[in-house]
Amino acid sequence: MNGLILHESSRGIDSYTPESSLLQKRILFFTEEVNADSSNKMIEYLLYLDTDAPGKEITVCINSPGGEVVSGLAVYDTIRGLKSPVRTVCIGTAASMGSILFLSGEKREMLPHTKIMIHDPLISGLSGSKRALELEKEAAQLMETRAVTAEIIAERSGRSLEEVYDKTKEDCYLTAQEAIDFGIATGIITSIM
């Protein structure tokens, strides 16, 4: 596939990408690792759609392994602050920070065979020797991140912080029905459109 769709009209032959066609339908995809680049791109599209037609629903399809907390929270905060309602749809696995992005939607829907994974945040990139005070500082930052993500999960699911901490102490994979039962998802769908 060359990535272009050709369409014959009275003006001749138009070409466009699937992404631009879906953008016109207010459907976005977040299907990569959460990092500064992917988050900035998503925020740009969200802000464009929100200013283009404020109040008209935006659908964000998510299949992400997660990634950087700060970048993910930037997308989460942007979605929560839009004038337009946002519907999130899990189309594979929304894991770690991907699950937090999923929770940003008012409607949070899952295809039947998709999964959500929630867990406590991880420290990545530990290398070399560390002094005790450096480790203490990193641990404090990790606990702060844990509190922020647990509060989001609790608020959006209607669960207590204690229930969330218990559920996230290990990687917790939830099927679509389990995600509904826990309050993370609001519905199971068979079609995105």
Could you list the residue range(s) of the whole structural domain that residue 170 is in?
19-121+131-188
Known active-site residue 7: no
Amino acid 89: pLDDT: 98
Amino acid 6: pLDDT: 63
Residue 154 lies inside a defined structural domain of this protein? yes
Known active-site residue 96: yes
Residue 49 lies inside a defined structural domain of this protein? yes
Amino acid 111: pLDDT: 98
List the structure tokens of 32. Answer: 């990569």
Contact criterion met (CB below 8 Å) for 184 and 157: yes
Amino acid 152: pLDDT: 97
CATH number of 54's domain: 3.90.226.10
Q: List the pLDDT tens digit at each of the 193 positions of the chain.
A: 456 666 677 777 766 677 888 899 999 999 999 999 999 999 999 999 999 999 999 999 999 999 999 999 999 999 999 999 999 999 999 999 999 999 999 999 999 999 999 998 876 655 567 788 887 888 888 899 999 999 999 999 999 999 999 999 999 999 999 999 999 999 999 999 8
| Number of domains making up the chain | 1
**Dist. CA 20–CA 135, nearest whole Å:** 46
From 39, 71, 104, 119, the catalytic residue? 119
From 71, 96, 99, 157, the catalytic residue? 96
- b or e along 83-110 (b: 16 or more beta carbons within 10 Å of the residue's beta carbon)? ebebbbbbbbbbbbbbbbbbbbbeebbb
Residue 66 lies inside a defined structural domain of this protein? yes
Residue 54 lies inside a defined structural domain of this protein? yes
Residue 8 lies inside a defined structural domain of this protein? no
3-state secondary structure of 2: coil
Amino acid 63: pLDDT: 98
Residue 2 lies inside a defined structural domain of this protein? no
Residue 59 lies inside a defined structural domain of this protein? yes
Contact criterion met (CB below 8 Å) for 116 and 110: yes
Residue 3 lies inside a defined structural domain of this protein? no
